[in-house]
Amino acid sequence: MKAQMEYGEEVKAISEDVEATIIRAADHVKEGLAIIDAEIQQAKTELTNNDLLLVSDNESILGMWMKLEAVCQRRTDTIDHFATHLDGIEQTRIDRVRVELQRLTWALMETAHALPHEVERIIEAEAYEVNMVVISNRRVYADLVARMGTANVDEFLTARLSWEKGQMNWRHLRHDDAIVRFQATINSPHFTDPEDRLQVLQQIRVFQEKIHSEQRLAVLKELNDAGASLSSDYTKKILENLSATQQYEEEKNHSFFSELRGLQQSKGDSAVALRETLRLELHGFGAMAKEGAIEAARQRLVELLSDETMEDFFRAAGGLKTELDTLVKQLCVEDLIYKTNLEPMVSSLEILLSALPLKSVMEKQGKEAEQKAVETTLEKLRKAAKNEIMAILPSLQTQILMLMNIDDMSANFKAELSDIMAQLDQIILEYGSLPSISADAPSEKTFSRTPSIAVLANSKSMKASAAMIGESSSSNNKPSESNGNIVDLQAIRKVQRRLGMLVYASELSAPWQQHLQFIADQLALQTKANGIVDEVISRECDFLIETRQQEGRLLVEEMGKRMEQQSALLHDHVEKLVKFYLRVVLCMEESTDKVQYVNLSVMDLLDTLKEIDEGTLADLESTFTQSCVRLRHSPSNNVLREEFQLSSDLLMLIEREYRTYDKRLHLAADNNVVAIDKQPH
């Protein structure tokens, strides 16, 4: 009885210890989950911080998810550790109770408290009770862990949705921010009033001020300083210098105008380059539409092409390897964001995809042998000598016709075959009658069928096939001689490569075909994304760029007009002033000449008058002298009186002559003044 009481007390103590341990474990897991949940909440808060998202790049956003995922994994690990700990606690209870049951069993057996089978029933009852407790606890633990796991999954899902929402918010924020930054840049002085244009305008201003001050104003100063000494020759020389200055200024203005136009064109190119950078950036954000996984598709295709076991297959597959290598080169995001680059690639890929079902369709129709026959013919054509090639073409022609008549193949496949058939028909029509094949070629009946087959050819797929392989041009082909005749081997090899690509494409393994379809799906996504982004670019950018371009063009044109008008205005005003000076100088020079002529005429008149008067007066004075001599020697008073009267009359006559001479001189002088006054000024 005592052993049973001790056992009960030990079991009770074990339960109390387990309970305390469970409480501690629960408190610990609560604290751990609380810390982790705080970190998750902090991460969620960061994902809603627009300022933080704006300065983050794609790697930072992915890093946020990796950080958040790591925190969620810590939460999962914490719950798993708690579940393991609970299991360990319960296992500890079991071990300790087992030890106590063993001790109770030994005690009851040693004291012979009851028969062995009764002791066994006692121990079984105690063990049953313990087992029920353990089972109940484990059920509770499992339910608790399941609830915590469910909550953990919900928390993880919430975190993932929050991150995806934050990522989408980041995409839209960066998308809008990129557009705003572009518009701010286009509206900034860098484009509205660029520094390089200001420098050119400053150069224009300095040049205009220099040529005006050093040329035109200097001319006016020279005119002013010359004063009365200014001559017409010197004035004409000034006019010639002004004309040369005007011509030099016009040439310089033309140079400035060309420079302004060059700067305007450069700014237009910069704006377009900025727009294309924005286009690529918007595609990188993918805010408006899902972008194609172009880079992932390219890397996977590179991996498939690096398989060395495919070398023999590609060697026989015509242009398939070349087409796939071209596809790798074209899978570039920077190029495929443009419709002009994407559409030819999509068209080429559609032709390649159209050939993938060929093998399964022919197997379904029981035509595996026909496909193998086509492959065999292509292999013969690939390895044939020059003089054997033309003999193979008619059978290849018949096989192409058979492929064209397969009902379950797509229209793209048949259109491509029609184009190949048209090229093959042309080759056979041009070179089918060569002597080198006359012995081995099929009957004339086969060749007579050629034109009718050629009629089936449809050229509507010519553009698509040209993008994939390239059009055959007889002018660019390198012909080869065969028994004195020329065979266009290059055109034949093109037909072989194109047909081989279509036939062998269906031989590609499932991973190849799946990846080609994956590429087509990604290109479809990219096509849709391109349309949406192009619409955004057109709406948000093109009008602004055109506005800046139009403003720049108007400014440059206005500057050209203003420079021309200002130059012409200043030149005209200065030229008019100089011409006025010239007219004045010419007038003064002409007036001086005329005055000099009048003065010389008057002087000649005065000299003439003087000569006439001197002659007259000399005669009178000689007569008067003789009269005075006779007066002094008058013999009588009567003679004296007569001579005196004669002398007096002579004096009066001389006086009149002097007065007449004086009047003539004054009259001539007065007429000179009047004549000078009458000269035009």
pLDDT in tens, 163-186: 999 999 999 999 999 999 999 999
**What CA–CA distance (Å, rounded) separates 315 from 659?**
140
Question: Given this model, what pLDDT does residue 166 score?
Answer: 92
Cβ neighbourhood burial of 270 (10 Å; 0-12, 13-18, 19+): middle
Cβ neighbourhood burial of 279 (10 Å; 0-12, 13-18, 19+): buried
What's the pLDDT band for 4 if we cut at 50, 70, 90?
low
pLDDT at 16 over 90: no
pLDDT tens for each residue of 247-258: 998 899 999 999
CB atoms within 10 A of CB 606: 15
502-538 burial, b if ≥16 CB within 10 A, otherwise e?
bbbbbbbeeebbebbebbbebbebbeebbeebeebbe
pLDDT at 28 over 80: yes
Question: Given this model, what pLDDT does residue 444 score?
Answer: 36
Greater confidence, 10 or 205? Answer: 205
Q: Range with the lowest mean pLDDT among 221-235, 373-387, 413-427, 481-495?
A: 481-495
Distance of CA 154 to the CA centre of its chain: 46
Q: What is the mean pLDDT of the chain?
A: 82
Instruction: Residue 551: name the closest of 264, 196, 204, 271 by CA.
Output: 264
pLDDT tens for each residue of 566-624: 888 888 888 888 888 888 887 777 666 666 666 667 676 777 777 777 777 787 788 87
Question: Given this model, what pLDDT does residue 598 score?
Answer: 60
DSSP designation for 293: -
Beta-bridge partners for 480:
487
Q: Are 563 and 260 in contact (CB under 8 A)?
A: no
What's the pLDDT band for 487 if we cut at 50, 70, 90?
low
Q: Following DSSP, what letter does each residue of 532-577 receive, concatenated?
A: HHHHHHIIIIIHHHHHHHHHHHHHHHHHHHHHHHHHHHHHHHHHHH
Cα four-point dihedral sign 13, 15, 16, 18: positive
pLDDT tens for each residue of 526-548: 999 999 999 999 999 999 999 99
What average pLDDT does the segment 502-513 reach? Answer: 91
Q: Are 288 and 467 in contact (CB under 8 A)?
A: no
**What CA–CA distance (Å, rounded) separates 570 from 473?**
65
What average pLDDT does the segment 40-44 reach? Answer: 92
**What CA dihedral angle connects 370, 373, 377 and 378, to 10 degrees?**
70
What's the pLDDT band for 446 if we cut at 50, 70, 90?
very low
HSE, side-chain direction, 13 A CA sphere, residue 361: 16
What average pLDDT does the segment 304-309 reach? Answer: 90
Which amino acid is present at 416? E
Question: Given this model, what pLDDT does residue 676 score?
Answer: 60
Task: Tell me whether strands 480-482 and 485-487 are parallel, antiparallel or unpaired.
Answer: antiparallel
Residue 562: φ, ψ to 5°: -65, -40
Question: Given this model, what pLDDT does residue 641 score?
Answer: 82
**What CA–CA distance (Å, rounded) separates 274 from 179?**
11
User: For the chain, what are the domain ranges?
Assistant: 2-187, 196-287+535-575, 357-507, 585-678
Question: Given this model, what pLDDT does residue 448 score?
Answer: 36
What average pLDDT does the segment 9-29 reach? Answer: 86
DSSP designation for 528: H
Question: Given this model, what pLDDT does residue 212 score?
Answer: 86
Question: Given this model, what pLDDT does residue 353 score?
Answer: 93
With H, G, I as helix, E, B as strand and everything else as coil, classify residue 486. strand
pLDDT at 634 over 80: no
Both structure tokens of 650:
């002579």
Question: Given this model, what pLDDT does residue 275 score?
Answer: 93
**What CA–CA distance (Å, rounded) separates 345 from 342?**
5
Q: What contacts 618, CB < 8 A, 6 or more positions away?
A: none
pLDDT tens for each residue of 343-365: 999 999 999 999 999 989 988 88
Q: What contacts 269, CB < 8 A, 6 or more positions away?
A: none
- The pTM assigned to this predicted structure is 0.69
**What CA–CA distance (Å, rounded) separates 550 from 48?**
41
DSSP designation for 337: T
Q: What contacts 461, CB < 8 A, 6 or more positions away?
A: 351, 412, 415, 416, 418, 419
pLDDT tens for each residue of 47-95: 999 999 989 888 999 999 999 999 999 999 999 999 999 889 888 888 8
Question: Given this model, what pLDDT does residue 63 score?
Answer: 92
Question: Given this model, what pLDDT does residue 62 score?
Answer: 92
Q: Range with the lowest mean pLDDT among 48-52, 264-268, 354-358, 650-654?
A: 650-654
pLDDT at 515 over 90: yes
H/E stretch holding 394: helix 389-404
What average pLDDT does the segment 254-283 reach? Answer: 92
Question: Given this model, what pLDDT does residue 354 score?
Answer: 92
Both structure tokens of 532:
């949406």
Q: Are 208 and 250 in contact (CB under 8 A)?
A: no
pLDDT at 458 over 50: no
**What CA–CA distance (Å, rounded) separates 61 from 54?**
11
pLDDT at 674 over 70: no
What percentage of the chain exceeds 90 in pLDDT? 35
Beta-bridge partners for 482:
485
What's the pLDDT band for 673 if we cut at 50, 70, 90?
low
CB atoms within 10 A of CB 434: 18
Q: Following DSSP, what letter does each residue of 22-59 receive, concatenated?
A: HHHHHHHHHHHHHHHHHHHHHHHHHHT-HHHHHT--HH
What average pLDDT does the segment 199-221 reach? Answer: 88
pLDDT at 469 over 50: no
Question: Given this model, what pLDDT does residue 443 score?
Answer: 36
Question: Given this model, what pLDDT does residue 3 score?
Answer: 67
What's the pLDDT band for 635 if we cut at 50, 70, 90?
confident
Residue 618 CA: distances (Å) to CA of 142, 603, 661: 171, 22, 13
Question: Given this model, what pLDDT does residue 533 score?
Answer: 93
Question: Given this model, what pLDDT does residue 592 score?
Answer: 64
**What CA–CA distance (Å, rounded) separates 286 from 102?**
71
pLDDT tens for each residue of 356-396: 999 899 888 888 888 899 889 988 888 888 888 888 888 88
With H, G, I as helix, E, B as strand and everything else as coil, classify residue 48. coil
Beta-bridge partners for 485:
482
CB atoms within 10 A of CB 391: 18
